[in-house]
Structure formats: structure tokens, C-alpha cells
Structure 1
Amino acid sequence: LRSYRQMADTPPLHKSRLLSTVCSTKQQRHTLHQKRYRFTQALKARIPWLDIYGHGVQEIDDKAESLDAYRYQLAIENHISLHHWTEKLSDVFLGAALPFYCGCPNAADYFPPESFIPLDINDVEGSCNIILQAIEEQQYERRLSAILEARRRVLEDYNIFSVLTRIITARHPVSPTRHSDGVVLSRRLLRKRRPLVALQSVYEKARIRALNAWR
């Protein structure tokens, strides 16, 4: 396991392989699992050096094994909807790779447009041509700065703690009139200093007991 600081300070930039994907043998029809599996297998038939990882194929203990050595990774979401992007995209950025991506239609609202290459999994031939042309043109090297910016956003802007902080701050702004000498009182001391709070507490306990008695 790597710490947050280690991940932030040491992006895996020493790449020795080209293209990978994580695609298990799951083929549920109510999601894109089946389409993803069939699309991936069709690509493999056209691009034999595409390395496929996942349950039932080539199992790995850490997803980084499918990313760190690769310049490119195919990433396909289980569901396509506005604002819906998952670790399938963000993990590729953490691995400092360039995603060939099928998923969130407005992903460019969250990440630099140059940090990923959109694909249509309903068009195998077109997608294959896009992939091969991008690799031939060394798009990974050309887009590396955008990839690293997307990686920074995953680590700094979209991690759970940053998201929660923004939500809490937006919904509960700090009042400019609030004094910095405020204190946090224990429940017992609060009731002692503020009788109304004590009465509210007694009422709430009585109400809950009455409700439970009728259940």
C-alpha cells in the first residue's frame, strides 16, 4: 500500500508497455458489462498486444499492476450518464496513463479535454482506428501535462474529504459574527448552564419513551 503523499509525489512515469484494460468475464445485460466484454474481445482480435486483466481473465491483487507500466488504458463505465464517472476513469489518471474512455458524456467538465480520448463501444472498427492512430502519434507524450493535471484533480479536488468539505462549507457557512473564543460544552454542563436545553432534553426523552411504549 502507498500513502497519499507517496501517490501524490511519485506518479508512475516509467512506462514500458502500451495498452491495457481491466475487463472481467461478467456479462450482465442490465449494465454495460456484456457490451464491454464483447467490445474488449473484438478489440483484442484486432490488437493482439492489448493486455486484459480482471476476474476470470488475468487476475491481479492490485489494480496498479494493470496501470503503472502502461501508457494507455481502455476504460469503460458500467453505466453512461451525465456527471457519472467512477474509479474506472480516475484510476487511469492515478496510474498516469491516457484513457481511451467510454462513459460520462461531460467528463470534460471535470477533467481537461486533452486528458482522455473518447470512444464509442458500438463502433469497434472506428474505436480500433482511434486507438492505433493515437498510439502511432504518441498522444501519451503529447498529452502528459493534461494527464498529470487530471491526476492532481483526482488527488486534491475529487477525493472524498475535499468533496465533503465543499458540501459542508456550502451548506453551513461560518458566520462572520461568530466569536473565536467559543467553547464546546459537555452535555451535562450545557444543561446546567442553559435550563431551556435541559427541558428540551427531558421532553425528547419522554417523547421517545412514549413512542417506544406503543410499538
Structure 2
Amino acid sequence: MTSTLIDGPLKISDDAADLLFREARTANTFTDEPVTEEQVKAIYDLIKWGPTSMNQQPLRIVLVRSPQARERLLPLLAEGNRAKTGAAPLVAILAADLDFHEEFPKTFPYKPDAKELFEGLDREPHARLNATLQIGYFILGVRAAGLAAGPMTGFDAAAIDQEFFPDGRHRTLVVVNLGQPGENAWFDRSPRLDQDEVVTTV
């Protein structure tokens, strides 16, 4: 099957650009429509292709589905995040795996000694940077699935690490609520910086 590129500086349709960026918003309320395993799989199968340094792929995702797991998570969030997280159809804890190099024989087979090179390094900065890149891909993947994402950083990261990653090799970065947006889901749109405030040419 072939596709024709759109003629213009952007090679995706206006509808796709709106879905992923221009009209997409952070949701603060959700309907009770469930997020299916099929949707989660489709999201991951799309976002896994996003680039990371040396194909590290340090992002790890814990889906908080059960009421028991939700009860463990909610007290660890900032008070203002608890109600919307308790009501969201699905919650994902996104973390960085500090031992991402253990997967190098599979993910980076082109350099046989890559795993050993990272054994003696402080891997946390690498894991955090590249997992953060993947979090951006994850949010876009959620939008591509026609869902809304509500990413949050208001939580006790160390407490979530201890509760959900007791092995000590993961660092929680973001907690994301997922689902169909509910009533009054959006805050007012915040302004964005213009190109001339951000981009310079040398």
C-alpha cells in the first residue's frame, strides 16, 4: 500500500497535526469509558520506534488498573491530583530503568561491549534523559489513539519508587492519567512562545 505525501512544509494532514499538537490538551477529567489493552498495545507499538541514544529504551511503564493498586498510589500524589487520578479509567506510572544496559545484547547488538562499557558509568542521567524523550512519544501515542493524556509531576517520587519499584533500579518520572476527556476537562489554553523567541540561527 502506498501513500502520497502532502504538498507543503508539513507532511501530515491538518487533522493529524490538530490531533497530535494544535488541538490536543492536557485532560483533567475523564469519562468512565475504559482504556483497552488493545489501545495500550497500539500505543506502545507506535511509540517504541521513537529514537533514544544508543537505542537505550529505558522507559518502563506500570499500568495501574486494579482498585488495590490505585489505593496504593493515590496517597503518594499531591492532594490536587488525587481525585482526578482516582477517577481516571487508566493510570500509567512512567519510570526510567537504570539498568537499561542489561537489554543491550538485544537493543544494541552492533557494539558487543556496550553493556560492559555502561557497567562502570553513572547510568541515571542517561536513563532519565532518554526515558523523558520516550515520555513525549508516549503522550503523542496516546493522542494518536484518540485518547487524552493528563501527565502529572505532583507526587512523592521516592515513595512511588519504593512502593512500585522496590528493586531500586527504577526512577519514577511522570504519572499519566489516560482516557476519553470528560466534562470540563480543559483549563484555558496557555500561550506558547513564538519562533523568534526560541529559535536562533548561527
Higher relative helix content: 1
Q: What is the TM-score normalised by the length of structure 1?
A: 0.25
Q: Which has the higher contact order (CA 8 A, sep 6+)?
A: 2
Task: Tell me the TM-score normalised to structure 2 length.
Answer: 0.26
Larger Rg: 1
